[in-house]
């Protein structure tokens, strides 16, 4: 085994957390390497990790295509636009998504080159607080690399269910679900969580009859429950067959179909579908990440134990992104942690504010929120007030023919400080940025009420929701 130079920092993993961290380390003058083993469908190296290649970016790209197809089929006539003989070539749609992913992956490579980051295509194993064994993806000789600091950012992967074994032909995981080249006539999805709903949005928009089997009796427990109820109403109206309290117990591939067994309060049921997607959660990629003698401390679910500075139990070793339990599995959380850790290593003062971390569910319409939910605040006994404004009362929503959804502001009843902002509606992922900034600056609802918003825009709903606190809304009766 050969030995290479000592780096200031080695980052393991080139997903959003890892590549952002590597870039920031290099910007701060640290000699940096990044080790990653991802290969695309052609077996070629691509940076960006699961988030780019098999997660959010891939999913959003396909959803944009699916929305176009759906609009062409269903929404254009009333605009006076007639299109005939509309058809969809799913394989070409997947190719388009892959082209975009390749281009974005290539941009990360260029950024690495620009910042003189040593990019190593290999699988890494942490041997101790300073050393990593690398096994090159091309099968060449393993070697040991050494660094003063190590940042673990290996991300997460889909959880497997022993009773619904993924074959990626009939029973597929969330990665393969973004690479299906034909349209399943009837599709079932295990799990109506974030990923299940995002995939349902894509395939139902393309025309699949989509059944979501969710073990929980309640729907979407993470967002504000008023938003979840609204989401349930909108999704079912769109044709999602949402079966709550439905726990899948078995799934078997037949000759051309999948047989799915599930149980609910009424007993056992079976379903025959063309494809089954397993979207039952993700697990951190820590299996084989560290040699046992490295003594990297993990919790019982495989998450790396870290303190509030993302430091593991090993001096100089950090874990960021999906690997730690400091916040939800979100790409932008990982990116911020990557920068936060890089700055700590460089001796800079750095902070991270998990309280103003936005969450987004990329369905159509989207769900986005920041801060606390109404149910959490009530459980804490906080005195709160609520301002709500529906998008259907804004001119812009009518102009774009997407009037569903609402903005909900929650403020402290006495201090007026904003405590939570919750949105369901088109472009919620973009709109939430205004609320994040407001909360970052400790804004009050009065600040929103006094801020002039352009008319006609969707963002006016913020202004009006704040006016609702004082029964001063202009476009709905108070």
Q: Which residues bind ligand NAD (CB under 6 A)?
A: 55-56, 161, 190-191, 193-196, 213-216, 247-248, 279-282, 328-330, 360-362
Strand partners of residue 351: none
**Which C-beta is closer to ligand NAD: that of 280 or that of 372?**
280
Going 222 to 228 to 232 to 235, the CA torsion angle's sign is negative
- Distance, in Å, from the CA atom of 145 to the CA atom of 7, rounded to the nearest integer, reads 8
- Residue closer to ligand NAD, measured from CB, 357 or 461: 357
Q: Is 362 helix (H, G, I), strand (E, B) or coil?
A: coil
Q: How far apart are CA 232 and CA 372, in angstroms?
A: 20
Name the E strands within 378-455.
Answer: 384-390, 406-412, 418-425
Q: Which of 246, 254, 227 is nearest to 391 (CA)?
A: 227
Task: Name the H helices within 192-330.
Answer: 194-205, 225-237
| Nearest distance, CB of residue 220 and ligand NAD, angstroms | 8
What does the chain come to in residues? 478
Return the residue nearest ligand NAD (CB atom): 193
Minimum separation from the CB atom of position 326 to ligand NAD (A): 13
**CB of residue 150 to ligand NAD, shortest distance in Å:** 25
- Bridge partners for 271 per DSSP: 260
Burial of residue 410, with CB atoms counted within 10 A of its CB: 0-12 exposed, 13-18 middle, 19 or more buried:
buried
CA angle (194, 253, 208) in 5-degree steps:
45
**DSSP bridge partners of 406:** 390, 424
Q: Is 115 a catalytic residue?
A: no
Closer CB to ligand NAD, 368 or 411, in the complex: 368
- CB of 323 vs ligand NAD, minimal distance in Å: 13
Query: Cβ closer to ligand NAD: 206 or 330?
Result: 330
Please check whether residue 138 is in contact with residue 121, taking contact to mean a CB–CB distance below 8 angstroms.
yes
Shortest reach from residue 194's CB to ligand NAD, in Å: 4
Give the angle subtended at the CA of 389 by the CAs of 386 and 391, to the nearest 5°.
150
The catalytic position among 51, 79, 455, 475 is 455
- CB closer to ligand NAD, 278 vs 406: 278
Q: Which is nearer to ligand NAD, 134 or 248 (CB)?
A: 248
Smallest gap from Cβ 174 to ligand NAD, in A, equals 7
E strand segments, 178-320? 186-190, 209-214, 241-244, 247-253, 258-264, 267-273, 275-278, 282-284, 317-319
Catalytic residue numbers, as ranges: 455
């Amino acid at each position: 085994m050969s030995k290479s130079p000592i780096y200031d920092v080695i980052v393991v993993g080139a997903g959003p957390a890892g590549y952002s961290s590597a870039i920031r380390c290099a910007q701060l003058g640290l000699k940096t390497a990044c080790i990653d083993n991802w290969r695309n469908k052609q077996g070629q190296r691509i940076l960006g990790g699961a988030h780019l290649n098999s997660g959010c970016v891939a999913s959003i790209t396909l959803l944009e295509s699916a929305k176009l197809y759906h609009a062409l089929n269903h929404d254009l006539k009333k605009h006076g636009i007639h299109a005939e003989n509309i058809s969809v070539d799913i394989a070409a749609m997947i190719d388009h998504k892959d082209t975009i992913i390749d281009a974005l992956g290539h941009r990360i490579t260029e950024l690495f080159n620009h910042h003189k980051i040593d990019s190593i295509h290999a699988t890494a194993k942490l041997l101790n607080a300073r050393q990593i064994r690398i096994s090159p993806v091309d099968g060449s000789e393993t070697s040991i690399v050494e660094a003063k600091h190590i940042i673990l950012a290996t991300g997460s992967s889909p959880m497997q269910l022993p009773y619904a074994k993924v074959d990626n032909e009939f029973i597929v995981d969330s990665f393969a679900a973004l690479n299906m080249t034909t349209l399943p006539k009837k599709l079932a999805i295990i799990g109506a969580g974030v990923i299940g709903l995002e995939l349902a949005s894509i395939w139902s928009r393309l025309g699949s009859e989509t059944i979501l089997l969710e073990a929980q009796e309640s729907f979407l427990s993470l967002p504000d429950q008023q938003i979840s109820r609204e989401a349930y109403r909108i999704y079912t109206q769109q044709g999602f067959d949402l079966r709550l309290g439905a726990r899948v117990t078995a799934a078997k591939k037949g000759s051309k179909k999948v047989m799915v067994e599930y149980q609910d309060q009424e007993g056992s049921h079976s379903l025959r579908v063309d494809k089954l997607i397993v979207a039952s959660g993700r697990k951190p990629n820590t299996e084989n990440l560290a040699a046992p003698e490295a003594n990297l401390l993990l919790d019982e679910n495989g998450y790396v134990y870290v303190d509030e500075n993302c430091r593991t139990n090993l001096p100089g070793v950090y874990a960021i992104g999906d690997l730690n339990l400091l916040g939800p599995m979100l790409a932008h959380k990982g990116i911020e942690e990557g920068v936060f850790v890089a700055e700590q290593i460089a001796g800079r003062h750095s902070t991270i504010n998990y309280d103003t971390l936005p969450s987004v569910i990329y369905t159509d319409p989207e769900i986005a929120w920041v801060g606390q939910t109404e149910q959490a605040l009530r459980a804490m006994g906080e005195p709160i007030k609520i301002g709500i404004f529906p998008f259907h009362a804004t001119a812009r929503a009518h102009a774009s023919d997407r009037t569903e959804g609402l903005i909900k502001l929650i403020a402290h009843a006495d201090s007026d400080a904003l405590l939570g902002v919750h949105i369901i509606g088109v472009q919620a992922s973009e709109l939430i940025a205004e609320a994040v900034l407001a909360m970052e600056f400790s804004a009050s609802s009065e600040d929103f009420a006094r801020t002039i918003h352009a008319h006609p825009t969707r963002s006016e709903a913020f202004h009006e929701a704040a006016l609702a606190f004082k029964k001063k809304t202009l476009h709905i009766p108070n």
